[in-house]
């Protein structure tokens, strides 16, 4: 081959990018969580081997730079139905041009977190618990993410941010429960994660630690024996994960959840109700049953938050309540999550659901069964519900400090 610039030289063809489909990757690499993160799909070119992209998806991907982060692991992308644009995996991972259609009620910070940050890494809205933002990266950038203004790896929490967060938690004694989030805390190295957990566990008033993570769903190979031992050494510790559709419950996801539970870590699941993704009774029943089979307790079913560009994914409240009516009573109570709206502006989680009380009088309450039958329940004759022994059992204990959170200056 002649050198470049020589008349008649042959220009070499560009080398094709190596395929990231599972069948084309060495299994040792595929099962390496760091490889999965290093090869996240971010563009139309990246997603093309996994899906025949629609015009809406191509336009969404083209518009995303500088607007909303895009990213998914090859593992998660490999679950995409390549030809059906209604696939729940692709609807959660590939942006649509509809994300550019903002409504007047959508917010950059839908839950009012930024107004409840006494220090950069802590959100303190509720009296006895705080959100500790320890990382700003994820293994998937979900199209419905309520923190899309923050995540993406552009402005990670610094060592000083972490120190300030731990100091705030240590001097705010009403905080009993700390939830590690971000981003995804399990993207931290085992050493960094262990250090944060140990420092929190050394605070005497921190009773439980929770971790919110989607890695069992989108990068289950991160869950290994070494990580589980790190987590196990800081009990009582809980994990809440985020399965939205039964298609996400693969053999690898089952293995990851089983390993965590077998190390004594209770697991809950927080599903977001997404229109066209999981907004059917059949889908939700299947999801909740599969979660229980993995010993993952359905915890919350969230109405979609009013995040910029997500109106097309939100389900009407009446439809959400009707879906819950198709769950409660028709399947194990263990499988029933709490349906909640996280109030826009920071008002907290508000339970909603079907109304089973249809009438009251002085002596009876009329209730509706899950099959629609009306039943009268007799009210007791005695109505005083005070607990006399409280004065004895709690004699030396102060009342709970129920101030809102970071609204007050800590002294």
Tell me the mean pLDDT in the region 328-342.
96
C-alpha 270/C-alpha 257 separation (Å) is: 14
Structure tokens at 139: 């293994």
The chain-wide mean pLDDT, for the chain, equals 92
Of 116 and 151, the one with more pLDDT:
116
- Quote the pLDDT of residue 16: 47
Taking alpha carbons only, the member of 222, 231, 229, 223 closest to residue 200 is 231
pLDDT (tens digit per residue) in 15-56: 445 789 999 999 999 999 999 999 999 999 999 999 999 999
At residue 14 the predicted structure's pLDDT band, cuts being 50, 70 and 90, is very low
At residue 2 the predicted structure's pLDDT band, cuts being 50, 70 and 90, is very low
At residue 411 the predicted structure's pLDDT band, cuts being 50, 70 and 90, is very low
pLDDT (tens digit per residue) in 117-138: 999 999 999 999 999 999 999 9
Tell me the mean pLDDT in the region 223-234.
97
Q: Crossing angle for the helix pair 225-232 and 190-201, nearest 10 degrees?
A: 10
Given the DSSP bridges, would you call strands 237-241 and 267-272 parallel, antiparallel or unpaired? Answer: parallel
Tell me the mean pLDDT in the region 315-324.
97
What does the buried/exposed string (b/e) look like for 20-54 if buried means 16 or more CB atoms within 10 Å of the residue's CB? beeeebeeeebeebebbbebbbbebebbebbbebe
C-alpha 24/C-alpha 330 separation (Å) is: 43
Where are the strands (E) in 242-284, listed by range? 267-272
At residue 407 the predicted structure's pLDDT band, cuts being 50, 70 and 90, is low
Tell me the mean pLDDT in the region 219-236.
97
Tell me the mean pLDDT in the region 146-173.
89
Say which CATH topology domain 114-351 has. TIM Barrel (3.20.20)
- Quote the pLDDT of residue 17: 57
C-alpha 47/C-alpha 45 separation (Å) is: 6
Please, what is the Cα angle at 38 between 199 and 159, to 5 degrees? 25
pLDDT at 380 over 80: yes
pLDDT at 146 over 70: yes
At residue 143 the predicted structure's pLDDT band, cuts being 50, 70 and 90, is confident
At residue 175 the predicted structure's pLDDT band, cuts being 50, 70 and 90, is very high
Domain ranges of the chain: 22-100, 114-351
Tell me the mean pLDDT in the region 82-110.
91
Of 336 and 103, the one with more pLDDT:
336
CA of residue 104 relative to chain centroid, distance: 25
CA of residue 314 relative to chain centroid, distance: 16
DSSP per residue over 23-56, as a string?
Answer: GGS-HHHHT-HHHHHHT-B-SHHHHTTT----HH
Where are the strands (E) in 200-354, listed by range? 208-212, 237-241, 267-272, 296-302, 338-343, 348-351
Grouping H, G, I as helix, E, B as strand and the rest as coil, residue 20 is coil
Q: Crossing angle for the helix pair 190-201 and 159-171, nearest 10 degrees?
A: 20
pLDDT over 70 for what percent of the chain? 94
- Quote the pLDDT of residue 57: 94
C-alpha 56/C-alpha 309 separation (Å) is: 14
Q: How many CA atoms lie within 13 A of 14 on its CB side?
A: 3
- Quote the pLDDT of residue 306: 87
Given the DSSP bridges, would you call strands 122-126 and 129-133 parallel, antiparallel or unpaired? Answer: antiparallel
Q: Which residues lie below 8 Å from residue 265, measured CB to CB, with a gap of 6+? A: 228, 231, 232, 235, 237, 238, 239
């Amino acid at each position: 081959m002649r050198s470049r610039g020589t008349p008649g030289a042959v220009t070499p063809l560009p080398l094709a990018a190596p395929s990231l489909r599972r069948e084309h990757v060495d299994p040792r690499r595929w099962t390496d969580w760091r490889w999965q993160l290093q090869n996240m799909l971010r563009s139309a070119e990246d997603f093309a081997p996994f899906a025949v992209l629609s015009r809406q998806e191509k336009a969404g991907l083209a518009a995303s730079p500088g607007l909303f982060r895009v990213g998914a692991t090859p593992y998660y992308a490999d679950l995409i139905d390549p030809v059906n644009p209604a696939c729940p995996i692709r609807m959660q991972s590939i942006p649509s041009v509809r994300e550019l259609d903002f409504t007047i009620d959508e917010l950059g910070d839908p839950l009012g977190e930024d107004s409840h940050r006494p220090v950069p890494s802590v959100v303190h809205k509720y009296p006895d618990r705080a959100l500790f933002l320890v990382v700003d990266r994820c293994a998937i950038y979900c199209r419905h993410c309520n923190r899309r203004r923050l995540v993406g790896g552009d402005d990670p929490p610094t060592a000083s941010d972490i120190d300030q967060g731990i100091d705030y938690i240590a001097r705010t004694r009403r905080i009993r429960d700390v939830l590690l989030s971000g981003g995804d805390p399990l993207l931290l190295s085992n050493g960094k994660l262990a250090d944060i957990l140990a420092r929190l566990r050394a605070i005497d008033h921190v009773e439980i630690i929770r971790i919110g993570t989607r890695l069992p769903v989108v990068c289950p190979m991160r869950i290994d024996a070494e990580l589980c031992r790190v987590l196990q050494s800081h009990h009582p510790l809980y994990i809440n994960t985020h399965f939205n559709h039964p298609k996400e419950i693969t053999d690898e996801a089952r293995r990851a959840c089983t390993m965590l539970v077998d190390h004594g870590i209770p697991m809950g699941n927080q599903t977001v109700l997404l229109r066209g993704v999981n907004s059917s009774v059949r889908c939700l029943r299947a999801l909740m049953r599969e979660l229980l089979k993995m010993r993952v307790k359905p915890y919350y079913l969230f109405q979609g938050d009013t995040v910029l560009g997500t109106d097309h994914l939100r389900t009407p409240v009446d439809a959400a309540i009707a879906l819950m009516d198709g769950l409660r009573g028709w399947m194990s109570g263990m499988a029933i999550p709490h349906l909640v709206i996280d109030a826009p502006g920071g008002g907290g989680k508000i339970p909603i659901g079907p109304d089973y009380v249809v009438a009251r009088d002085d002596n009876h309450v009329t209730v509706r069964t899950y099959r629609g039958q009306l039943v009268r329940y007799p009210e007791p004759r005695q109505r005083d519900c005070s607990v006399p022994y409280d004065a004895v059992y709690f004699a030396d204990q102060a009342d709970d400090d129920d101030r809102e959170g970071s609204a007050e200056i800590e002294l």
